[in-house]
Amino acid sequence: MVAGRNASGMASELGSMKVTEQIDAMRALGTDPTKKLVTPRVVSTVVMMFFLTIISDLVGLTGGWICATLLLGLDSSQYWSQAYQNLVNEDVTMGLVKPLIFGFIIATVGCYYGLSTKGGTQGVGRATTQAVVAASVLILVVDFFVTRLIMAWFGSLV
Amino acid sequence: MPEASTHGAGSNGASRVVISFEDVWLSFEDNHVLRGISFELPLGETKVFFGIAGSGKSTILKLALGLMKPDKGRITVLGEEVSSMREEDLFELRRKVGMVFQESALFDSLTVEDNVAYRLREEHVPEDEIHKRVVEALEFVELAHTLKKFPSELSGGMRRRVAIARAIITKPDTILYDSPTGGLDPITSTRIIELVVKQRDVSKTSALLVTHRLQDAFTMATSYFDVKANEMRPVKPGDHRDTNTSFLILRDGKVIFDGSGPELSRTQDEYIQEYIS
> For B121-137, what is each residue's pLDDT tens digit?
988 999 999 999 999 89
Q: Report how far residue A104's alpha carbon sits from residue A46's, in angstroms, rounded to the nearest whole number.
A: 6
Instruction: Summarize pLDDT for A99-135 with one digit per residue, the tens.
Output: 999 999 999 999 999 999 998 889 999 999 999 999 9
Sheet holding B17-28, edge to edge: B31-42, B17-28, B72-77, B80-81
pLDDT above 60 for B50: yes
ipTM attached to this prediction: 0.80
- C-alpha–C-alpha distance, residues A43 and B86, integer Å: 26
- Closest chain A residue to B67, measured at CA: A24
Q: Where do the structural domains in chain B lie, given as residue ranges? A: 43-71+85-276
What mean pLDDT is predicted for residues A29-39? Answer: 92
Residues B177, B169: Cα–Cα separation, whole Å: 15
Q: What is the pLDDT of residues B135-193, one digit of tens each?
A: 989 988 888 889 999 999 998 889 989 999 999 898 888 999 998 888 788 888 888 88
Between CA A109 and CA A102 the distance in angstroms is: 10
* Structure confidence at residue A156 as a pLDDT band (50, 70, 90): low
Closest Cα in chain A to B176:
A28
Q: B122 to chain A: which residues are within 8 Å by CB?
A: 29-31
CB contact under 8 A, B91 and A30: yes
Residue B5 has pLDDT above 80, yes or no: no
Position B12 confidence tier, pLDDT thresholds 50, 70, 90 = very low
- A87-101, A122-136, B3-17, B189-203: least confident range: B3-17
Q: B67 — contact with chain A (CB < 8 Å)?
A: yes
Q: How confident is the model at residue B269 (pLDDT cuts 50, 70, 90)?
A: confident
Of A16, A17, A32, nearest to B91 by CB-CB distance is A32
User: Looking at the complex, does the CB of residue A27 fall below 8 Å from at least one CB of chain B?
Assistant: yes
CATH of domain B43-71+85-276: 3.40.50.300
Contact B119 A30 (CB under 8 A): yes
Alpha carbons within 13 angstroms on the beta-carbon side of residue B203 total 21
The tens digit of pLDDT for each residue in B18-44 reads: 999 999 999 988 888 899 999 999 998
- What pLDDT is stored for residue B4 in this prediction? 35
Chain B hits for A25, CB-CB cut-off 8 Å, are 99, 101, 105-107
Instruction: Work out the average pLDDT over B2-27.
Output: 64
Interface test with A, best of B77, B82, B88, B119 (most A CBs within 10 A): B119
Please report residues of B whose CB lies closer than 8 A to that of A34: none
Neighbours of B231 (CB within 10 A): 12
What is the per-residue burial (b if ≥16 Cβ within 10 Å, else e) of A59-97? eeeeeeeeebeeeeeeeeeebeeeeeeeeeeeeeebeeb
pLDDT at B274: 77
Higher pLDDT, B157 or A51: A51
Best mean pLDDT range from A41-50, B132-141, B227-236:
A41-50
Q: Tell me, what's the pLDDT at B14?
A: 43
State how far Cα A64 lies from the chain centre. Answer: 23
- Asked if the C-beta of B91 comes within 8 angstroms of chain A's C-beta atoms, the answer is yes
Asked if A25 and B101 come within 8 Å (Cβ–Cβ), the reply is: yes
Task: Please compute the mean of the pLDDT values over residues B246-266 and round it to a whole number.
Answer: 86
Report the SS3 class of residue A116.
coil
CA distance B232 to chain A (A): 29
| Rounded mean pLDDT, A61-67 | 94
Contact B166, B176 (CB under 8 A): no
Residue B10 has pLDDT above 50, yes or no: no
Q: Which residue of A has its CA nearest to B168?
A: A29
Give the best-scoring range by mean pLDDT among A113-127, B42-56, B217-231: A113-127
* Mutation to test the B interface, candidates A12, A16, A21, most B Cβ within 10 Å: A21
